[in-house]
Amino acid sequence: MRTATFILVLSSALLTRGATAEPNIETLAAAVSSIDELPTKAQLLLLGADAEGRALLELANDDKRSAYTRMRAVSFLAWFDSQKSRDGLVRLLEDERSPVEELRIQALRSLARLEGSYGRARLERYLRGPSVPLRLAAERAMAATAAVRAE
C-alpha cells in the first residue's frame, strides 16, 4: 500500500515536471547502473521494472552488460518476490563457472532476503562450501535473517 501510494505521488511529481522517460529496459538499465544512488522499489517500477522481477533478471543474465550493472540488478531482486525471480537467483547462485563471483554473492544475499528462514538449509550448505567469499556472504545473510526474526 505504501509502495503504491509512493508510486502515485512520484508519478504525479514526475509528470508535473514533464520529465518522465518512457519506461523500458534501457531506462531501467540506466537507473540500475548508477554509481551511488539507491533507488526505491517504487522508482525501479516506474523506470521499467515489473513486479515479478523479469526485467531485472534480464539485466542480471545479460553477459553483454557490465559486471556492475548485472550485480546491481541481482541485488535489487531482493525486493521482487516471485517464483520467477527466486528461480533466476538460484540459477545465478549455482553457476560455479560464473566469471563474476560477485553475481553469486549478491544472488545469495537476495535469495536469503526473499526466503527468510525458509532458506536456512541453503545458507548452511554455502557456509560449508569451498568459496571463502560465498561462505562469508552466507554468514552475513544468516546473521541478517536472524536479526529480522528477532525483530
Partner 1 sequence: MKVAARSASVLRVKRRVHLFGLSLLLAACGDEVHSLDAGTQNDATVAPDASTPADADTGAGLDAQGADAQGADVPVVIDPGTGRIDLGTVTLVNGSSESFDFELPSELDSFMIVIRGAEDSMFVVRHLDGPTGTLVTPDIPSEFLDVLLGPFPSQYKSPNRVVAQREGISAALFPNNPSVSVGAGSYTASLGGVRVTGQQTAPASGTVNVEVFYKVGSASSGRIDVGLYFSGAGGLSADSAPASPLMNAALEKLRTVYAQIDIEIGTVSYHDISSSYQTISSLSGPGNQLNEMFKLSQAAQRGLHFFFVDRIESPLGGVIGGVAGGLPGPPSGQGTTGAGVAVALAAANGDANLLGHVMSHEGGHWLGLSHTTESLLPGIEDQLPDTPAGQAGTSNVMYPDGNSTGALLSPNQGSVMRRHLETVSR
Grid-cell match 544468516, residue found: 142
- Regarding 100 and contact with partner 1 (CB under 8 A), the answer is yes
Query: Which one of 1, 2, 22, 38 is in contact with partner 1 (CB under 8 A)?
Result: 38
For partner 1, which stretch binds (CB under 8 A), given 30-38, 52-60, 87-95, 122-130? 30-38
Q: Which helix (H) or strand (E) holds 140?
A: helix 132-150
**How far apart are the C-alpha atoms of 1 and 124, rounded to whole Å?**
34
Among 102, 26, 113, 25, CA closest to 70:
102
- Regarding 12 and contact with partner 1 (CB under 8 A), the answer is yes
For partner 1, which stretch binds (CB under 8 A), given 49-57, 90-98, 117-125, 136-144? 136-144
Query: Which one of 5, 66, 117, 146 is in contact with partner 1 (CB under 8 A)?
Result: 66
- Regarding 121 and contact with partner 1 (CB under 8 A), the answer is no
The C-alpha angle with vertex 24 and arms to 20 and 9, in degrees rounded to 5, equals: 40
- Give residue 11's identity as a one-letter amino acid code: S
On whether the CB atoms of residues 38 and 44 are closer than 8 A, the answer is no
Q: How many residues bind partner 1 (CB under 8 A)?
A: 43
**How far apart are the C-alpha atoms of 35 and 16, rounded to whole Å?**
27
- Regarding 31 and contact with partner 1 (CB under 8 A), the answer is yes
Minimum distance between the CB of residue 128 and partner 1, rounded to whole angstroms? 20
Query: Which one of 3, 4, 24, 30 is in contact with partner 1 (CB under 8 A)?
Result: 30
Query: Which one of 59, 76, 86, 134 is in contact with partner 1 (CB under 8 A)?
Result: 76
